[in-house]
């Protein structure tokens, strides 16, 4: 069920461009704007902000295997930033895929969730996904989460390609 007052408040923020102006337009108390979460800028990210997001590059290997190269922090915001593109580059492509984690400096639950859901989606289509090249800290998280029970975890791209080629 929709909470219409909340929907109206969100619409006012979008329409007015700021929480403060929306509060004034809705005749809310002056203390309410102080409760808002930190503002997210609509301007392009700064260099420091860019380093906390994910980057995704794709390529196609001979034999119809897709390679997805990830870089950055695979936390909630990072996974959100690449989620649709990652799914499109892997599960929606209808081919086996290998994922390069060598430039991923951190992975959290949302990053694990993205990898697991994509591997399962590929599995339902008869394809496999493998990951490779994880840095030690990321590899430790993958091991703790027993991700090797869901998909092959390899050291090199060649090993990952061999794992999905069967």
- Encode pLDDT of 25-56 as tens digits: 666 554 444 445 555 555 555 555 545 578 99
Q: Is the pTM of this model over 0.85?
A: no
73 and 104, same structural domain? yes
Q: What are the C-alpha distances in Å from 46 to residues 43, 50, 51, 66, 70?
A: 9, 6, 9, 31, 20
Q: What's the domain range around 129?
A: 49-164
90 and 124, same structural domain? yes
116 and 90, same structural domain? yes
33 and 57, same structural domain? no
64 and 28, same structural domain? no
Question: Which pLDDT belongs to residue 2?
Answer: 43
102 and 159, same structural domain? yes
């Amino acid at each position: 069920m929709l909470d219409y007052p909340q929907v109206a408040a969100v619409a006012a923020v979008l329409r007015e461009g700021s929480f403060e102006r929306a509060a004034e337009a809705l005749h809310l108390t002056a203390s309410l704007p102080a409760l808002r979460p930190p503002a997210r800028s609509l301007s392009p990210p700064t260099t420091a902000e860019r380093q906390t997001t994910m980057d995704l590059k794709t390529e196609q290997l001979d034999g119809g295997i897709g390679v997805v190269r990830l870089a950055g922090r695979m936390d909630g915001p990072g996974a959100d930033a690449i989620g649709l593109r990652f799914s499109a580059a892997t599960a929606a492509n209808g081919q086996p895929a290998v994922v390069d984690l060598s430039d991923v400096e951190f992975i959290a639950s949302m990053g694990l969730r993205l990898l697991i859901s994509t591997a399962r989606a590929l599995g339902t289509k008869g394809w496999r996904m493998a990951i490779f090249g994880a840095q030690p800290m990321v590899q430790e998280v993958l091991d703790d989460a027993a991700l090797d029970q869901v998909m092959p975890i390899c050291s090199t791209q060649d090993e990952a390609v061999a794992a999905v080629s069967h």
